[in-house]
Chains A and B, each alone.
Chain A
């Protein structure tokens, strides 16, 4: 298997000319099957929607020639080893202009070094934990071809704490899963509580394991300490176990946490018990502006769905492609290194569905990952689960976005 794959790779390398003259090759990678598929699949579909729109217009004009995007899709199945193999394969293509994708931190950590080594421009979206960028700042690489287009954990924990303070709460319980993601989420939240003036008293701090089904013990600790909200950091169905346990024990207090709370495995498994749960979101599937409405409608039509599996991922995939396309246009080249330089200094604002992106990235500075991070606090809003959908949690956010779009 491995041998045939290598032969195949060698053959395809030999077969393709160094610069296929009239296409811009872009790879989309992510988990399209398995547990993370709602995110990976929606991101891919959003990205392909943007590519179809660009291609339908006239593509991108490079040196007077109309160029079309050509998509290469690779399913990493959320497996680290698959991700590494795919990165190796893509990085060996000499005419690849860039890569968009990834959901799982492990996959990013296993694969991105191959892109960086060959200097291939990659935009990480819709997700991946902080380590996906800090690995480069810690190593102090002078030049980086990896960009991230996702609301990082720092922004999310800031908003979670802010939300509890805005609700005039004093006592909160922190719950976190025992993975790296959960533990660093707890640390982030503790730090934010300190940073935002120590207004919250953490009355319980409890851990849970992946696969735990019964959260009675953790919830009882919170209940007996009179917690007024549960701040939670975790992934997957364990979050639903909390919502269900809270309903069972009549705990009518807010559940606030990171964006996995907006995923189908929480929303579906928690059912009506999930209503009112709050989490940061970069995009809400609500047609608040004509631009957003256009995107939602064409997504529903193109993929024949009534609801986007992961609206955040779809919108991020869509905007990431437009930002990438703007960089290609500015660079006037399919060369991935020139595109990288253009991305670091985008002159024209890019109108996306999440926001109008003005200079989303800047020249990489190993002392500051923010240079390759597009999202800032103002692009993120608080979402709330309501009857199987995620809606705006605060009307102020909705008004702000409408006002921004009108500007």
Chain B
């Protein structure tokens, strides 16, 4: 009984951890190209989820809603880049920090006014009836989260490695100035990274909504964890977030089982402090040497 409990807790937690990882991946995408991140990323998750729900309510079938929701995420990502990040980066200022927070707050109030403050169910054709493997219950819905996370991350990584545009992306990440000298437009690449990051946020929203319900505050807890995952894994490491995400998720559930649910958030925070103290570039991050 005891080992099944541990396994059950670890599996349930790991599934949530994958969602943290996906959102953290959105942070990484923009950080690698522009050294900036969208502090309103949680609001993108939430707004995309609300938009997707609206599509469903209009009678759009589920599988058509998914690309619609993702497209909306891309548009939001581009809007954030244009309104909050581009000018600040051009002027080499840190204004994007405040601007992305403000845009996020705007998005939050917009959602409250358009869709209200209620938490709403998000219908999905994927069953939530439990399947049992070796005494562990897991729902197809949770499996779909895992599949979705790996699919979207895999596709983006493939895109970065196999296409010309993707290589430009990598080039700007590696060295912005050198890439510009090679004729790659850094501005466009940053745009691309924000678009992709918005899409990833939308994906996270669509995947997690059937489990967490949709409401203006749905992402506020997720985003903090995702941030921890991104920092602990390192803001430059692609798949490191997956490992750290799964680990953190499992650790959280085990903590809340053994120490009580009040301590649930503690391991993530301790991990964050430890990571920053011991490996400031993240467990999977590369130490960057700044040549002056």
By a beta-carbon cutoff of 8 Å, the part of chain A in contact with chain B is: 33-35, 37, 178, 206-209, 211-214, 216-218, 220-221, 224, 236-237, 240, 244, 247-250, 265, 268-269, 271, 273
Contacts and interface: CB of A to CB of B under 8 A. Distances in A.
Contacts of B137: 248-250
Interface string B114-132: 0011111100000011101
A218 B255 CA distance: 11
B253 A248 contact: no
Nearest to A248: B130
A221 B257 contact: yes
Interface string B199-210: 000000000000
Q: Is the interface of B mostly helix, strand, loop or mixed?
A: mixed
B261 A265 contact: no
A331 B192 CA distance: 74
B128 A244 contact: yes
A221 B261 CA distance: 11
Interface residues of B, number: 33
A178 B264 CA distance: 13
Interface in B191-233: 211-213, 215, 217, 220-221
Contacts of A212: 261, 264
A35 B12 CA distance: 29
B253 A217 contact: yes
B139 A214 contact: no
Interface string B236-268: 000000000000000001001100111010000
A224 B262 contact: no
Q: Most chain-B Cβ atoms within 10 A of its Cβ — which of A217, A236, A237, A273? A: A217
B270 interface: no
B111 interface: no
B5 interface: yes
Q: Most chain-A Cβ atoms within 10 A of its Cβ — which of B116, B121, B215? A: B121
Nearest to B212: A213
Q: Most chain-B Cβ atoms within 10 A of its Cβ — which of A212, A214, A221, A244? A: A214
A271 B121 contact: yes
Given A211-B217, A248-B130, A218 B261 contact: yes
Contact of B116 (A33, A207, A271): A33
Contacts of B264: 209, 212, 217
14 contacts: A37-B116, A178-B262, A209-B261, A213-B212, A213-B213, A214-B12, A214-B211, A216-B13, A217-B9, A217-B257, A220-B9, A220-B257, A248-B139, A250-B137
Contact of A247 (B128, B217, B220): B128
A178 B262 CA distance: 9
A248 B12 CA distance: 11
A216 B5 CA distance: 10
Contacts of A220: 5, 8-9, 257
B5 A207 contact: no
Contact of B213 (A209, A218, A224, A237): A237
Interface in B1-37: 1, 5, 8-9, 12-13, 16
A269 B213 contact: yes
B256 to A, nearest CB: 4
Given A237-B213, A268-B121, A248 B257 contact: no
Contacts of A209: 261-262, 264
A26 to B, nearest CB: 28
A211 B211 contact: no
A59 B181 CA distance: 85
A207 B257 CA distance: 11
Contacts, number: 83
A37 B119 CA distance: 12
B9 A216 contact: yes
Given A214-B16, A220-B8, A249 B261 contact: no
Contacts of A35: 117-119
Given A213-B213, A214-B211, A248-B130, 11 more contacts: A178-B262, A211-B217, A211-B220, A212-B264, A217-B9, A217-B256, A220-B9, A248-B139, A250-B132, A250-B137, A273-B128
Contacts of B130: 247-250
Given A221-B257, A224-B1, A250-B137, A207 B262 contact: yes
A271 B129 CA distance: 12
A240 to B, nearest CB: 7
A277 B132 CA distance: 24
Interface in B40-84: none
Given A217-B9, A247-B130, A269-B121, A208 B215 contact: no
B119 to A, nearest CB: 4
Contact of B120 (A217, A221, A249, A268): A268
A206 B220 contact: no
Contacts of A207: 260-262
Contacts of B9: 216-217, 220
Contacts of A218: 256, 261
Nearest to B254: A217
Nearest to B1: A224
A216 B128 contact: no
Nearest to B122: A269
Contacts of B220: 211
Contacts of A236: 119
A217 B213 contact: no
A241 to B, nearest CB: 8
Nearest to A264: B118
A214 B217 contact: no
Contacts of B12: 214, 216
Contacts of A178: 262
Contacts of B256: 217-218
A232 B217 CA distance: 23
Given A211-B217, A211-B221, A250-B137, A224 B116 contact: no
A61 B189 CA distance: 78
